[in-house]
Amino acid sequence: MTKKELTIDDVNKALKKFAENEDLDAKNPYLKEDGKIFDKIVGEFCESLNSKNSNEGFYWLEKFGVISEGEKYKPNVNYGMPTHVHGDYKNGLIYLCLLNPGMQINDKEKFDNIKSYYEALSKKVEKGLTKEYGESDYYFYEQMDLEIKDNYRNLDKEMVKEYIYDEKTSILTKELLKIKYYLQENEFDKTWKKLKKKDDLTRNIYYIWHYFKKLLKESTYLNYNNLPDDYKLYGESKDKARGVTTNKVVNIELCPFRSKNANAVKKLSRTDYGKFSAYIIWYRIGQYLNDLEKDNNTEKPIFIFRSYCNKTSPDWKDILVDTLYEINKEEIDSEIIKEYIKVFEREYFYIFNSQNGMISKGNLSYFDKNNEKKKISSKQFDELRELVKQ
């Protein structure tokens, strides 16, 4: 079939229509059958950790319909708890777009079943939290790590669901809550510049320490009054949390499945889960274009990528090309799509300059008018900071 000569205006119209029709929900694998499938899968995961049958098999890839029964993948990928989308992804302003969640267990380690995997993980977490700091390779931890260490056989299903996919509360909001409660219980007068990697507070705010602290102006003196009071953010308080400014910072993994090395998930970025990650970006751009017609002062979303264009591992650009092609109903040549992608790169995309994921002036680049990567200016970084003001 001959492809139509679509212009960039036609592509923008397709994105606006995609956002108007709420087509994103149809692409969301967590909303299938009103979320009942996702709920059932997580329930089976929790049951498998408490099952008396040690040979009972649970594999995330199989349950999520990513692989066929009996297909082989590394234990980290099959057993490790996925994490995918966090924050108000339909209305976000800064999107941290990463490749896939890491894992402290080596990809080459072998386990008989999911229970033996989590037993080993529990011991590794405990060892990392109790060893002398100078010897430990596990400085940072999340609330889920503590749950796994103390009670992996009886994990709370709702907590696991929220850990994988949470459309209301961002990771940044949750970590700011940790700081809020820490300040309530401890005397503390350090700024970020004075904090050290092994400090108790630092170890429990992984994303702030590795990604967001420069956005927060290197200060712990933030306004926490608009944060909800419920630490776990379940129920009513989660609805209240949706209005928190920091929920405009959205975390997205291209592939939700865990590995120590990115090559372990190389073939998994083109699943429905990887495509959903890319569809979020196209939806948000389409929504912005629609909102711009009503209000010229509409804030423009910015997408910050790690592994945007790689040679050896899965990358965002390929999946963005694939999904934009599908949004345009395959009526445009994929090579032309690649040219149009350059327009979006210049307008909306920032790229990390290194594997270090710190969002900072020195570690981000934008695409100039020739689509050459250039380091962002102080003005551009200050504009990013404005988007996360408390």
235 pLDDT higher than 50: no
The percent of residues above 90 in pLDDT, for the chain, comes to: 47
329 pLDDT higher than 90: no
pLDDT tens, position by position, 266-302? 788 889 999 999 999 999 999 999 999 999 999 999 9
The domain segmentation of the chain, as residue ranges, is 8-168+246-389, 171-232
Residues 6+ apart with CB under 8 A from 258: 76, 77, 80, 81, 82, 83, 100, 101, 102, 103
Q: What is the pLDDT confidence band of residue 51, given thresholds at 50, 70 and 90?
A: confident
Average pLDDT over residues 315-343: 87
147 pLDDT higher than 70: yes
Q: Higher-confidence residue: 118 or 125?
A: 118
pLDDT at position 251, please?
96
Q: Higher-confidence residue: 240 or 209?
A: 209
Q: What is the pLDDT confidence band of residue 389, given thresholds at 50, 70 and 90?
A: low
pLDDT at position 390, please?
45
17 pLDDT higher than 60: yes
Q: What is the pLDDT confidence band of residue 206, given thresholds at 50, 70 and 90?
A: confident
What's the chain look like in SS3? CCCCCCCHHHHHHHHHHHHHCCCHHHHCHHHHHHHHHHHHHHHHHHHHHHCCCCCCCCCHHHHCCCCCCCCCCCHHHHHCCCCCEECCCCCCCEEEEECCCCCCCCCCCCCCCHHHHHHHHHHHHHHHHHCCCCCCCCCCCCHHHHHHHHHHHHCCHHHHHHHHEECCCCHHHHHHHHHHHHHHHCCCCCCHHHCCCCCHHHHCCHHHHHHHCCCCCCCCCCCCCCCCCCCCCCHHHHHHHCCCHHHHEEEEECCCCCCCCHHHHHHHCCCHHHHHHHHHHHHHHHHHHHHHHHCCCCCCCEEEECCCCCCCCCCHHHHHHHHHHHHCCCCCCHHHHHHHHHHHHHHHEEEECCCCCCCCHHHEEEECCCCCEEECCHHHHHHHHHCCCC
18 pLDDT higher than 60: yes
Lowest-pLDDT range of 77-81, 132-136, 166-170, 254-258: 132-136
Average pLDDT over residues 120-143: 66
178 pLDDT higher than 50: yes
pLDDT tens, position by position, 68-102? 655 678 899 999 999 999 999 999 999 999 999 98
Q: What is the pLDDT confidence band of residue 232, given thresholds at 50, 70 and 90?
A: very low
21 pLDDT higher than 70: yes
49 pLDDT higher than 60: yes
Average pLDDT over residues 326-341: 82
pLDDT at position 231, please?
40
